[in-house]
Amino acid sequence: MLEVAALRAGYGPIEVLRGVDLAVGPGEIVALLGSNGAGKSTLNNNVSGLYRPFGGSIRFEGEEITGASSMHIVKAGLVQVPEGRRVFPNLSVRDNLELGSYRRGKPHRAANLERVLEIFPRLRERLTQSAGTLSGGEQQMLAIGRGLMGEPRLLILDEPSLGLSPLLVEEMFGLIGRLNRQGLAILLVEQNVVQSLALAHRAYVLENGRIALSGSAADLARDPDLRRSYLGH
Ligand code: ATP
Topology (CATH level 3) of domain 2-77+153-231: Rossmann fold (3.40.50)
Helices (H) and strands (E) in the chain, counts: 10, 10
pLDDT of residue 27: 96
Q: Is the pLDDT of residue 217 over 80?
A: yes
Nearest CA to 194 out of 233, 146, 156, 154 is that of 233
Nearest CA to 204 out of 214, 191, 217 is that of 214
Residue of 7, 11, 157 to test ligand 1 pocket, by largest number of atoms within 8 Å of CB: 11
CA distance 23 to 3: 5
Name beta bridge partners: 205: 33, 213
Angle at 200 between CA 198 and CA 201, to 5 degrees: 115
Say if residues 119 and 168 touch (Cβ distance below 8 Å).
no
- A 10 A CB-CB count for 149 gives 24
Q: Is the pLDDT of residue 70 over 70?
A: yes
Residue of 16, 47, 156, 161 to test ligand 1 pocket, by largest number of atoms within 8 Å of CB: 16
- Label residue 35 by pLDDT band (50, 70, 90): confident
- Cβ–ligand 1 distance for 167 under 6 Å, the answer no
pTM listed for this prediction:
0.92
pLDDT of residue 84: 63
Name the E strands within the chain.
2-11, 14-24, 29-33, 55-60, 63-64, 78-81, 154-158, 185-189, 202-207, 210-216
Which segments of the chain belong to CATH 3.40.50.300?
2-77+153-231
Residue whose Cα lies nearest atom 20 of ligand 1: it is 37
Q: What H or E segment, with its residue span, contains residue 2?
A: strand 2-11
pLDDT of residue 226: 83
Q: What is the arithmetic mean of pLDDT over 157-185?
A: 92
Say if residues 212 and 35 touch (Cβ distance below 8 Å).
no
Query: How far, in whole angstroms, is CA 197 from its chain's centroid?
Result: 15
- Torsions phi, psi of 16, nearest 5? -95, -50
46 Cα to the center of ligand 1, angstroms: 12
- Label residue 233 by pLDDT band (50, 70, 90): low
Q: What is the arithmetic mean of pLDDT over 23-48?
A: 94
Question: Between residues 85 and 212, which one has the greater pLDDT?
Answer: 212
- Cβ–ligand 1 distance for 39 under 6 Å, the answer yes
Average pLDDT, the chain: 92
CA–CA distances in Å: residue 56 to residues 43, 68, 79, 125: 12, 13, 21, 45
Q: Is the pLDDT of residue 146 over 90?
A: yes
pLDDT of residue 104: 64
- Cβ–ligand 1 distance for 36 under 6 Å, the answer yes
CA distance 121 to 28: 26
Please give the DSSP secondary-structure letter assigned to residue 96: H
Q: What is the position in ligand 1's atom list of the atom closest to the CA of 83?
A: 4
pLDDT of residue 63: 96
Q: Give the least confident one: 32-36, 114-118, 226-230.
A: 226-230
